[in-house]
Each structure stands twice: as C-alpha cells, then as structure tokens.
C-alpha cells in the first residue's frame, strides 16, 4: 500500500500528535480531517514521530504489537493488528508510582514481553523462529493513552498515534520460553485488590510469539528489521482497564510472577 498524504500533511499530523501528547489534551482522530488516510499514511506519521524522538535524544528499546487479541479488537472496534515503537523514557519500574497529570485517559493492559538475543527479519518468520531468537520473556503491563477524544479512532489514526503507546512496566520473573508453554499461561488483572479481568496468553493470536512474528512481518513491509536485544510487547491479552489517581494495578501471571503499578 502506498501513502497518499503529502509531506506537509505528514508534518502537520505529527505536530498534532506531539502537541496532544505534550499538553495531555485529546484531539479528534486524524481521519476526520484526512478521510483518505490509509495504513501507509499512518505508519508515515508514526515514523516521523519516531524520528523526531530520536533527534531529541530519545533511545528506542523496541517495539509493541497492538490489537493482537480478540478482546482488544472488540473493545476498540478494529479487526487488524498494528505495531508501534517503544522508547526508553516510556519505561517505569515495577511497582512505580505513575503520574497521570501528563496523561489524557490512561488504560492498562497485561502483556507478555520478549527480549531478543538475535535479530529477526523477513516476511516468512515463524513462531518457532521467534522463540529461538528469544533470550527470555517477562510479564509486563502497558499503559496506553490514546491522544484521540473518547479513546475513539480507526486504524490509520491509531497507527499514527504510535498505537496509543504511553508507558510500560516490566516485572516478574524472566523465563526462558523453551522451559514453559507461554501459549497456555493464565493472567489475572487486579485493580485495588479486586479481579477486574483475566485471560490466557493464547488469546494473543493463538500464541504471543505469533504476535512477535506478525510485528517482524510489518517491520519487513516498512523496510525494517528487529535488532537483537529488542524489547517487544506482544499485545494486550484482555481488554484494557481504565485507571485514575489512587488506583493500584497488579497483574499476576502463571509461571512469570507479577508486575504492578500505582497511579498518582
């Protein structure tokens, strides 16, 4: 698919996303003004956002797959996965107090994160190759924060908005994916001590490693590869849960331990 937007429109839309992020203020989804925008346009804006970040000295640590489970697709009304980038400054420590005054309407997702030891590339990548290239997996939570009003968007808009990426927290126990069956692991999400949602990792495309394979395929279409030492989030297992100041989120994973964050 070829982009349709002119360079100056890509710049304009990148400015809009950046301003929404900086001011923690929601904006209308981008396709309201640019209805012809397609997925390639979305990725062109995302690339421009990433390049600006790198120019400012941010360090990219990896990538995220999104909308990789049915629960997420149903919640957002979108039936196709997408990818986004992860910068070092988006990371928070396990158990950290996460500020919400610089976020618009944060939601939390539980995910499995992969750390790669060899690079991955190409359109033919398989689950087995992803597992072979994986150093270890850790449990993680992602804090998403759509820059769009009402958390409502379509695929080109959310891709441009870096898949709503805002913060992420890795925790628990690092495990070798060859020692456990990640596909069947269960996870329970608690908010303020009460279970709010639960699921099995198989919800993510049958197996979270398949979401990493999908991510590598999308990177291939964008002319990129996944370098060794990448941190990759494979996508929310359950629907995302809204949080506000005072909330404590704890995600407990079978075999992987738990990961938590407080919101202030």
Q: Which DSSP letter does residue 184 get? A: G
The entry of Mg ion, ligand OOG, none near residue 139 (CB within 5 to 8 angstroms by kind) is: none
Distance (Å, whole) CA 242 – CA 244: 7
- The nearest distance, CB 202 to ligand OOG, in angstroms, is 15
- The nearest distance, CB 236 to Mg ion, in angstroms, is 5
Q: Which residues partner with 97 through β-bridges?
A: 262
The entry of Mg ion, ligand OOG, none near residue 100 (CB within 5 to 8 angstroms by kind) is: none
- Binding positions for Mg ion, 224-263, rule CB under 5 A: 236
- The nearest distance, CB 161 to Mg ion, in angstroms, is 13
From residue 51 to residue 90, the character string flagging contacts with Mg ion as x (rule: CB under 5 A) and all else as - is ---------------x------------------------
- Pairing outcome for strands 97-98 and 257-263: parallel
The entry of Mg ion, ligand OOG, none near residue 76 (CB within 5 to 8 angstroms by kind) is: ligand OOG
**Which residues does 155 contact at the CB level (< 8 Å), separation at least 6?**
39, 42, 78, 80, 82
- The nearest distance, CB 7 to ligand OOG, in angstroms, is 26
- The nearest distance, CB 238 to Mg ion, in angstroms, is 11
Distance (Å, whole) CA 123 – CA 215: 10
The three-point CA angle 115-188-73 to 5° equals 75
The SS3 assignment for 46 reads: helix
Q: How many residues bind Mg ion (CB under 5 A)?
A: 4
- Binding positions for Mg ion, 114-173, rule CB under 5 A: 142
The entry of ligand OOG, Mg ion, none near residue 146 (CB within 5 to 8 angstroms by kind) is: ligand OOG
Is residue 190 within the footprint of Mg ion (CB under 5 A)?
no
**Which residues does 213 contact at the CB level (< 8 Å), separation at least 6?**
125, 126, 127, 129, 130
Is residue 109 within the footprint of Mg ion (CB under 5 A)?
yes
Q: Which residues bind ligand OOG (CB under 6 A)?
A: 64, 66-68, 72, 76, 109, 111, 142, 144, 146, 158, 163-164, 235-236, 240
Extended beta strands in 68-124, E state:
82-87, 91-92, 97-98, 107-116
- The nearest distance, CB 235 to Mg ion, in angstroms, is 5
Is 73 in contact with 154 (CB distance < 8 Å)?
A: no
Binding site for Mg ion (CB under 5 A): 66, 109, 142, 236
């Amino acid at each position: 698919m070829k982009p349709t937007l002119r360079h100056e429109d890509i710049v304009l839309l990148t400015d809009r996303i950046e301003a929404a992020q900086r001011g923690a203020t929601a904006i209308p989804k981008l396709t309201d003004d640019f209805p012809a925008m397609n997925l390639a346009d979305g990725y062109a804006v995302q690339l421009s956002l990433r390049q600006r970040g790198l120019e400012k000295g941010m360090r990219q640590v990896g990538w995220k797959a999104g909308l990789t489970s049915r629960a997420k697709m149903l919640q957002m009304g979108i039936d196709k996965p997408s990818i986004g980038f992860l910068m070092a400054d988006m990371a928070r420590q396990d158990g950290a107090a996460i500020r919400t005054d610089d976020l618009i309407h944060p939601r939390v997702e539980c995910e499995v994160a992969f750390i790669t030891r060899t690079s991955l590339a190409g359109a033919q990548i398989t689950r087995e190759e992803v597992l072979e290239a994986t150093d270890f997996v850790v449990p993680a939570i992602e804090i998403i924060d759509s820059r769009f009003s009402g958390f409502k968007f379509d695929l080109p808009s959310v891709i441009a908005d870096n898949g709503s990426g805002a913060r992420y927290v890795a925790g628990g126990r690092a495990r070798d994916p060859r020692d456990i069956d990640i596909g069947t692991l269960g996870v329970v999400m608690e908010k303020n001590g009460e279970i709010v949602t639960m699921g099995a990792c198989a919800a993510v495309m049958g197996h979270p490693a398949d979401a990493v394979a999908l991510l590598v395929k999308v990177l291939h279409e964008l002319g990129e590869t996944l370098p060794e030492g990448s941190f990759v989030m494979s996508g929310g297992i359950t629907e995302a849960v809204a949080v506000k100041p005072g909330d404590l989120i704890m995600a407990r994973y079978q075999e992987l331990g738990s990961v938590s964050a407080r919101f202030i």
